[in-house]
């Protein structure tokens, strides 16, 4: 069924549906932000289609890094980690990327959740992997201030419905998750080239690249020679996002990587403590405080506004 409505009306309806406390985790496939976007590219079904993550970074980072919201929310809002409300706020504020955590429940359902237990981040109790999807839908998410929100855990199916055409995602695999199942799901959803897969070791980086050659692989880099080591091992630099960590920002390394055409990312979790520096060589800044990080990096436009120029 089709109906005519203004973009603001569609956005308001979508946000209301996400916030209903009496309902289960919402079907966030309404894609209101897509209808508000002027990105003109479409896929074969005529749906809005953003460039691949590699194409987008090559274009966007000409004007400096883009901001990725850690756990798909900024602490400048009341949203809980990995929540529908966090994702909605992210898009409303013009950001185009979020880092999310995926864990697997007892029945095999993958959900957005960071911890191995429910206790600190939801009204649930006990081990996440010991619960089925139906039971998980009885829990409400808790934000970092300890306040219970109206959001319930979000499934991988709901995530891909929501993200399609309006978000790039960094995927952090929790210990209970199944990497190949998650990657297959994104590929089947037509989003395999719109994701970044996070690796903590070189062996994991190589494994993820074999599972998903079209994705970017975020892997640790501490010196420029690490790039050659990854290439020799089988991970080409064109598929690598060099992760520079969350400690002191290495501007020289970021600049050297950019000169070699290698994408890079840095974790500026608390911008007010970050040093004054030139962050423009970076491709991505991951942060808990998105607007503060944008100011620190002296970015004049949102990711969404800059992305419109990449088509």
Q: Which domains does the chain have, with CATH numbers?
A: 7-34+41-310 (3.20.20.190)
Contacts of residue 123, defined as CB under 8 A and 6 or more positions apart, other chains included, come to: 139, 140, 142, 148
| Cα 262 from chain centre | 20
DSSP E strands, the chain: 66-69, 97-104, 110-112, 168-173, 195-198, 216-220, 240-243, 263-267, 284-287
Residue 145: the pLDDT is: 94
Cα→Cα distances 22→11, 15, 25, 204, Å = 20, 15, 10, 40
Residue 49: the pLDDT is: 67
Query: 260: burial class by Cβ within 10 Å (0-12, 13-18, 19+)?
Result: exposed
Residues in the chain: 311
Residue 19: the pLDDT is: 40
- Residue 122 to residue 305: CA distance in whole angstroms: 34
Residue 52: the pLDDT is: 94
Residue 63: the pLDDT is: 87
Residue 21: the pLDDT is: 38
Give per-residue pLDDT as tens, 133-149: 999 999 999 999 999 99
C-beta separation of 101 from 174 below 8 A: yes
Residue 48: the pLDDT is: 52
| Cα 30 from chain centre | 19
Q: Give the largest CA-CA distance in the chain.
A: 56
Using 70 as the pLDDT threshold, list the residues of the chain that sit under it. Answer: 1-49, 311
Q: Is 43 helix (H, G, I), strand (E, B) or coil?
A: coil
Residue 38: the pLDDT is: 31
C-beta separation of 277 from 59 below 8 A: no
Residue 300: the pLDDT is: 86
C-beta separation of 95 from 67 below 8 A: yes
Residue 165: the pLDDT is: 84
DSSP line for 189-219: TT-TTSEEEE-SSHHHHHHHHHH-TTSEEEE
């Amino acid at each position: 069924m089709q109906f005519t409505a203004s973009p603001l009306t569609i956005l308001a309806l979508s946000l209301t549906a996400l916030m209903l406390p009496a309902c289960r985790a919402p079907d966030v496939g309404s894609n209101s932000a897509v209808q508000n976007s002027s990105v003109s590219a479409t896929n074969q079904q005529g749906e809005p289609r953003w460039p691949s993550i590699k194409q987008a970074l090559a274009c966007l980072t000409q004007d400096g890094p883009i901001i990725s919201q850690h756990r798909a929310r900024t602490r400048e809002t009341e949203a809980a980690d990995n929540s529908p409300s966090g994702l909605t706020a992210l898009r409303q504020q013009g950001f185009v990327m979020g880092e999310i955590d995926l864990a697997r429940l007892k029945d095999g359902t993958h959900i957005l959740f960071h911890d191995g237990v429910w206790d600190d981040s939801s009204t649930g109790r006990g081990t996440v992997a010991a619960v089925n999807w139906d039971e998980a839908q009885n829990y409400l998410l808790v934000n970092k201030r300890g306040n219970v929100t109206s959001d319930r855990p979000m499934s991988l199916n709901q995530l891909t419905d929501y993200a399609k055409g309006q978000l790039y995602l960094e995927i952090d695999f929790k210990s209970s998750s199944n990497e190949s199942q998650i990657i297959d799901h994104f590929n089947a959803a037509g989003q395999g080239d719109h994701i970044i897969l996070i690796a903590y070791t070189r062996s994991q980086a190589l494994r993820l690249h074999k599972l998903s050659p079209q994705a970017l692989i975020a892997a640790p880099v501490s010196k420029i020679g690490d790039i050659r080591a990854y290439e020799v091992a089988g991970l080409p630099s064109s598929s690598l996002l060099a992760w520079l960590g969350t400690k002191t920002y290495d501007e020289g390394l970021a600049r050297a990587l950019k000169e070699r055409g290698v994408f890079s990312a840095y974790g500026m979790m608390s911008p007010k403590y970050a040093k004054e520096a030139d962050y423009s060589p970076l491709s991505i800044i991951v942060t808990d405080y998105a607007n503060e990080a944008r100011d620190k990096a002296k970015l004049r436009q949102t990711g969404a506004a800059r992305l419109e120029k990449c088509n």
